[in-house]
């Protein structure tokens, strides 16, 4: 019996870009289940390099340069999970934020990078 297939879309946007040293930037990460079956145990982390410090997140836990979000037990078909992180530019350069998604249905992590220019 065919029950459907999960399909994961991972998106990340920074606002604004470019960002001056000392100014804030907001990262919005969206996980969409594009498929027709549930996605189970959705885990999400965001990783920052030396040019940006994560400051806060409404649901995530900031630990140094990493923000970890609570696991979503089930993401139903066509549903979207949205995460936000407020960060601050600390050093000029080409910063890359990396979002890493894991779930039961996909064997290797899904990774998305967003470039932010810090000046």
Share of the chain above pLDDT 90, in %: 92
Which among 75, 111, 117 is positioned nearest to 93, based on CA atoms? 117
pLDDT at residue 96 above 80? Answer: yes
Pick the closest to residue 43 from 29, 26, 63, 25 (CA basis): 29
What is the model's pLDDT at position 6? Answer: 80
- Identify the structural domains of the chain with CATH numbers, from first to last: 8-118 (2.60.40.10)
Question: Is pLDDT above 80 for 62?
Answer: yes
Count CB-CB contacts under 10 A for residue 78. Answer: 10
pLDDT tier for residue 39 given thresholds of 50, 70 and 90: very high
The pLDDT, as a whole number, for residue 16 is: 97
Write out pLDDT tens, residues 7-24. Answer: 999 999 999 999 999 999
24: Cβ contacts below 8 Å, ≥ 6 apart: 55, 86, 87, 88, 89
């Amino acid at each position: 019996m065919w029950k459907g297939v999960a399909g994961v879309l991972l998106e990340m946007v920074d606002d604004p870009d470019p960002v001056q040293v000392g100014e804030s930037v907001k990262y919005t990460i969206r996980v969409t289940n594009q498929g027709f079956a549930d996605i189970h145990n959705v885990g999400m982390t965001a990783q920052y390099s030396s040019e940006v410090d994560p400051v806060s997140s409404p649901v995530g836990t900031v630990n140094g340069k990493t923000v970890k979000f609570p696991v979503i037990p089930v993401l139903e078909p066509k549903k979207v999970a949205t995460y936000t992180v407020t960060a601050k530019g600390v050093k000029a350069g080409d910063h890359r934020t990396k979002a890493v998604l894991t779930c039961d249905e996909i064997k290797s992590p899904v990774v998305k990078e967003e470039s932010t220019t810090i000046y």
